Structure 1
């Protein structure tokens, strides 16, 4: 007879949020697989229980190997409790591989629901929550992060992101550049803890808040409003006109018309398209490549268009 894998949601800060069932599982499981063995022992102490079973670590770097070992315990009839430092295992935390291995082996998997930073932040954000998407952690590298955000720029549902303190400022800056500084957002940290902080505003304000000299501590949950309905669609002639007039700015949420203008693009249209892509958060090199792909023109053609645009701007001054 096989055992059972119990996926345990842990409090995200306040131990009193734990259910009596979690305390019971920690006290009776044959094996407790924890992201941090010291933290799970502290949690058990706070809940007034003693972990009688074997305690083993199951963090990111060892999860693959632990999945095989834990499956052996389960097939031998033991009860295994899987728990992370906070929140639900497998949701931007270790646990997916363990659950998948148990399921493949035909072992029953059940769950002890618990607090979630995602739903807690969504609930206090005041942003629409009837439909939302959880995006987890953004890529660490700036170029990859901006590319991911460009994929999400037109997402209509509220989005929830997680971010580490040392990447918060750069991520907020990229969010503001790609989504637009006026997109509503809420930053939450240390939810349910003594130093809980909830900062509301728009992405521009949050980006400024994160770079005003304060010390950024604790993992953040960012809740960002979805894109407004019907973003303004611009043809390349519109972009060329806007680019030619320094007093006109290209809207951050503008969508380029998918239809190319008849005939080959003019230098002004190419330059305007590059300017639009840069305004959306692409680097100069990324913007050039995007325009080359869209129009089917060479790198030299785009370069010459930019040179001609700069020369025209210089004469206008």
Structure 2
């Protein structure tokens, strides 16, 4: 008589679309092969890219995704199986990282030497960093680091960050401040307190943005990061910021170098995790949801008005 196949929960799409298309399924527990580790996931962080790249079949195909498809990229948990040849990790190690559109599941298999886009990647979670926080670091942290690497903020600079209260903005504001820059962050009127708590000077987005920034920084703005679209790019140009010190993450603008988390400097995410562990960078968790409420979590995150990160909890069943 065959032993029953072990199963675990995984959020999946049977057809691409919005939150209503998400399903929580029981699936066979994956096994770690040579050069791989298996992680028992305890928390998964949500990002705008998660629902954007699974919104329709054409977009999903651009990211190499096909049905049935998992959901979510950022994860944190504990290594519970190690494949042949793995040297960097052992069973019981706390880890965090990214696996493209597979993270919201009880178990994920990760390549020891992979990337987020190909095979997944894992990093050791520093002591003092909880799994819910670690599960927010990979995508947003790498994207913020890559964006700042383009504009190179430094002591004495004034940096305008558009969409500063969002998931990437949480990191970009604090990293720019740690580099010695003054930060002016755009957001809604209700985000002002959250932006001040991060170290930014808040300014509301929309019509009149240039005049409001000039009033805050009459001596000018030196660099700009647009984390939402193109409004901050156009404002920065009107404020005299040179194109080489402007970047975007969610839009393409002629003459502007876009930033991509995949191009973050080697070690950037471990450095960010170290800053969190040292208490020099904090990650506000806006909301946490049990995996059974994945649709509600995605709807909240996709609304783009969350001040901080949204996390899915996948603790013990």
Q: How high is the TM-score relative to the length of structure 2?
A: 0.25
Return the index of the structure with the highest Cα Rg: 1
Greater relative contact order (Cα 8 A, min sep 6): structure 1 or 2? 2
1 or 2, which has the higher helix percentage?
1
1 or 2, which has the higher strand percentage?
2
